[in-house]
Amino acid sequence: MRIYLISALLLASGVAQADSRLDQILASKTLRVCTTGDYKPYTYLRPDGQYEGLDISMAQSLAASLDAKISWVPTSWKTLSQDFKQKQCDIALGGVSVTLKRQQIAWFAQPLGVDGKIPLVRCADKAKYGTLAQLNAPAVRVIEPAGGTNEAFVHSHLPQATLTLFHDNVTIFQQLVDNKADVMITDASEALYQQQRYPQLCALNPQAPLQYGEKAYMIPRDDMSWKAYIDQWLHLATATGEYARIAAQWMGVAR
């Protein structure tokens, strides 16, 4: 009995002394960040190989708080959850929407705001696509990037619409301008941002989205100390105005 007790105590001690994810990052001075690089204003991989965007700046703030460098881990919306687990990212960011499907494999940090789905259309067609009933018709050409929450929304709410999946979430907006598609369902923040860059496009009803949504950072669900650190960092970033200053540099303004 004494041997079993000692073994149990040693095992418990080993578990207690195992390095947490936070300890590992502090020791390695490396923060592994999953991001798609194709979702302005949150994350964008420039032609010169450098990332920029609201959440990229926030990742740099997080790394600075840890005295760590960032190791960027490229991913896509279709493979985000799989890459997040297999490539052992410490955090995933870049306009990531909170979903129960993603919650099954990760924790989320405190949400950064509400950001629901709305239509982005040519301004000349604003009156044609304002409601789900108007959108859910075979004659409506909807275009979406593959594998994300935009595509999921169309499958769930617009099954009668004609859906095209597009390979490039950076140039997809030109398809609307060129009349190769009619509607892109996307988050209000992206729609508002892109309408500033494409004067022909209008974000419809951003204050009354078709579906409620939130954005937050994904965290591995293996270490409460790491989640607590992320939440406290975000709390201080919002309380001190750091997040607001960074957001002001990147977010579009509705016209």
pLDDT at position 163 is: 98
CA 50 from centroid of its chain's CA atoms: 18
Mean pLDDT rounded to a whole number for the chain: 91
Cα atoms found within 13 Å of the Cα of residue 194, Cβ hemisphere only: 33
Element (H, E) at 232: helix 224-239
pLDDT given for residue 208 in this prediction: 94
Query: Which whole number is the average pLDDT over 7-18?
Result: 47
- Residue 15's pLDDT band (cuts 50, 70, 90): very low
The answer to whether residue 158 scores a pLDDT higher than 70 is yes
Per-residue pLDDT reduced to its tens digit, 31-59 = 999 999 999 999 999 999 999 999 999 99
State phi, psi for 202 to the nearest 5 degrees.
-130, 135
pLDDT digit string, tens, across residues 81-138: 999 999 999 999 999 999 999 999 999 999 988 899 999 999 999 999 999 999 999 9
Q: What integer pLDDT is reported at residue 116 of this predicted model?
A: 93
d(CA 118, CA 192): 10
Distance CA(43)–CA(149), nearest Å, equals: 16
Structural domains of the chain ordered from first start: 21-114+214-250 (3.40.190.10), 117-203 (3.40.190.10)
